Amino acid sequence: MVLASGSAYAEDRLDAVEAMAASGRAAYLGFDCLAERTLALAQVRRLADPSAGQDRRIAALVPLLRSHLAAGRRVVGNFGAANPDAARDDFVRALKEVGLPGVRIGVVHGDEVRLLVTALDAELPELGTTVGALGDRVVSAHVYLGADGIVDCLRQDAQIVLGGRLADPSLFVGPICHELGWELDDWDRLGHATMVGHLLECGVHSTGGNYEDPPYRVVPEPWNLGFPIAEVEDGAVTITKLPGTGGAVDAMTMKTQLYYEIHDPAAYLTPDVTADFTQVEVEDLGADRVRISGARGHARPDTLKVLVGIDQGWRATGEMSWGGPGCVERARRAEEVLRKRLEPYAAELDEVRVDLQGVDSLFGVRMAGGYPSEVRLRLAVRTTSLDVARTAAHETELLYFGPAGGGGNVTSVVPAIGVTPAYVPRELVPVRTEVSGS
Q: Per-residue pLDDT tens for 373-399?
A: 999 999 999 999 999 999 999 999 999
Residue of higher predicted confidence among 87 and 368: 87
Q: What pLDDT shows up at residue 366?
A: 67
Q: What pLDDT shows up at residue 367?
A: 65
What is the pLDDT of the chain when averaged over all its residues? 95
Task: Give the torsion sign (CA, 171, 172, 174, 175).
Answer: positive
Q: What pLDDT shows up at residue 38?
A: 84
Task: Tell me what the mean pLDDT of segment 85-114 comes to.
Answer: 97
pTM for this model (two decimals): 0.93
Task: Give the torsion sign (CA, 86, 90, 96, 97).
Answer: positive
> Would you call the peptide bond into 421 cis, given omega within 30 degrees of 0 as the criterion?
no
Residue 51 has pLDDT above 90, yes or no: yes
Residue 93 has pLDDT above 90, yes or no: yes
CB 81 within 8 A of CB 35: no
Residue 308 has pLDDT above 70, yes or no: yes
Q: What is the pLDDT of residues 158-168, one digit of tens each?
A: 999 999 999 99
124/71 Cα distance (integer angstroms)? 46
Distances from the Cα of 312 to the Cα of 39, 179, 390, 417, angstroms: 15, 44, 15, 6
Q: What pLDDT shows up at residue 86?
A: 97
H-assigned helices in 259-367: 327-342
Residue 368 has pLDDT above 80, yes or no: no
Residue 29 DSSP symbol:
E
Task: Tell me what the mean pLDDT of segment 85-92 comes to.
Answer: 97
What residues form DSSP beta bridges with 3?
28, 230
Q: What pLDDT shows up at residue 431?
A: 97
Residue 56 has pLDDT above 90, yes or no: yes
Residue 320 has pLDDT above 70, yes or no: yes
Task: Tell me what the mean pLDDT of segment 307-330 comes to.
Answer: 96
Task: Tell me what the mean pLDDT of segment 177-195 comes to.
Answer: 98
CB 420 within 8 A of CB 390: no
Encode 51-70: b = buried (16+ Cβ within 10 Å), e = exposed. Answer: ebbbbbbbeebbebbbebbe
Task: Tell me what the mean pLDDT of segment 210-231 comes to.
Answer: 94
Question: Of how many residues is the chain composed?
Answer: 438
Q: What pLDDT shows up at residue 141?
A: 94
Residue 150 has pLDDT above 90, yes or no: yes
- Which secondary structure element, helix H or strand E, spans residue 240, and what is its range? strand 236-241
Residue 143 has pLDDT above 90, yes or no: yes
Distances from the Cα of 154 to the Cα of 35, 87, 95, 434, 435, angstroms: 24, 18, 19, 11, 9
326/3 Cα distance (integer angstroms)? 55
Task: Tell me what the mean pLDDT of segment 254-265 comes to.
Answer: 94
Q: What is the DSSP string of 153-190?
A: HHHTT-SEEEESSB-TTHHHHHHHHHHHT--TT-HHHH
Q: What pLDDT shows up at residue 362?
A: 84
**Nearest Cα residue to 170 out of 148, 186, 154:** 148
The fraction of the chain above a pLDDT of 90, given in percent, is 90
CB 95 within 8 A of CB 61: no
What residues form DSSP beta bridges with 30?
5, 76
20/108 Cα distance (integer angstroms)? 25
306/51 Cα distance (integer angstroms)? 23
